[in-house]
A and B are shown apart, each in its own frame.
Chain A
């Protein structure tokens, strides 16, 4: 079959993204060296575009503007005047930061838009703690193999957590004090989820949505006033905090719970006596040695029915603070 080929004269002068490329926009915030923690599963090259250079941990050496990454974790240092780093293989990226290390630390913060991070589909861990990047978390909708999502204190990151509803591999979700919103029900199928902190966000919903999760440590709900429901549906969580919040919970029965649920400013509108009785029959297994994690601080109306339970808890080393509801 014949076809017509039309060739236009001219050249492309814009610096378009190449196939598989992602660019990390950066913003300087102080003097000194900057550090990137990045994981890959295949050969990948980083190239500094524009000013700046890669360096050593002391910031004293100039090692050029190209850095080849090796399989696994890479710690990359660069000068504080770097504003753009190109990565030639975003499909090889498995970690932008990790559970303990944010993606970028030191004199630089991540800037630009979260939308630039679309289709990094093999990503397992993302740690954008306190980063200056902004945008809708929905861009991570297709990154379903993710096990750790950390957007804490990144106030520019927003969007509805419903975009994460199919991220059933997620084990750690620390989104506190970021701009995310939505309903806890979006997390209901996350059976691997072991740690969750959504303090200071715009998240609301029924706590029983988390019944099938695996949150065995701390659950952070500080500053939230629109969480509600039966706390006893959480059978593994050992610490829950609602500091400066006014969310209202109920309690029905101990169920499968074996460990004490330590509380920080938890409002229980019904079943508070039963809660204390049930806690007295649970094991003392705080998530931390700090005394605050060995305290049950509730806002509730209790009766003499829980007197014996309180004594039992005190003997276990638990401090119980009860503020009556008005």
Chain B
């Protein structure tokens, strides 16, 4: 799967791998096997998708917690 629109959502098991923000122009997400993706032209549509699917983004703060 390849995402090219302004708002690209990559997620797995309810968690997004990056926060929902507008992607810089020309950005492409090549979604890995077993991971899900969705793309939208508007923020409103993307937010609705996030809400409908109960998606969350958890910021990674401490790599040393690994």
A282 CB-CB contact with B under 8 Å:
no
Binary CB contact string for chain B from 1 to 34 against chain A (1 if under 8 A, 0 otherwise): 1000000101110010110000111111111111
Closest to B11 in A: A291
Roughly how many angstroms separate A75 CA and B33 CA in the complex, as a whole number? 47
Instruction: Please tell me which one of the listed residues B1, B27, B30 contacts residue A324 in the complex, with CB atoms under 8 A apart.
Output: B27
A234 beta carbon closer than 8 Å to chain B: no
Q: What residue of chain B has the Cβ atom nearest to residue A239's Cβ?
A: B63
Determine if A259 is an interface residue (Cβ-Cβ < 8 Å): no
Q: Are A290 and B35 in contact (CB under 8 A)?
A: no
Interface size on A, residues (CB 8 A): 39
Give Cα distance in the complex from A216 to B51, angstroms: 37
Are B63's CB and A315's CB within 8 A?
Answer: no
A152 to B24, CA, bound (A): 31
> Nearest-CB distance from A242 to chain B (Å)?
12
Please name all residues of chain B whose beta carbon is closer than 8 Å to the beta carbon of A322 when the two chains form the complex.
Answer: 27-28, 30
Q: Assess whether B18 is in contact with A324, with CB atoms less than 8 Å apart.
A: no
CB-based contact B23/A323 at 8 Å: yes
Say yes or no: A320-B26 contact (C-beta < 8 A), given A218-B66, A297-B18. Answer: no
Given A217-B63, A319-B29, 14 extra CB contacts under 8 A: A172-B64, A197-B63, A220-B63, A241-B60, A241-B63, A243-B60, A288-B66, A291-B11, A291-B12, A292-B60, A294-B35, A314-B1, A316-B32, A320-B30
7 contacts between A and B (CB under 8 A): A197-B64, A218-B64, A241-B63, A291-B35, A292-B18, A314-B31, A319-B32
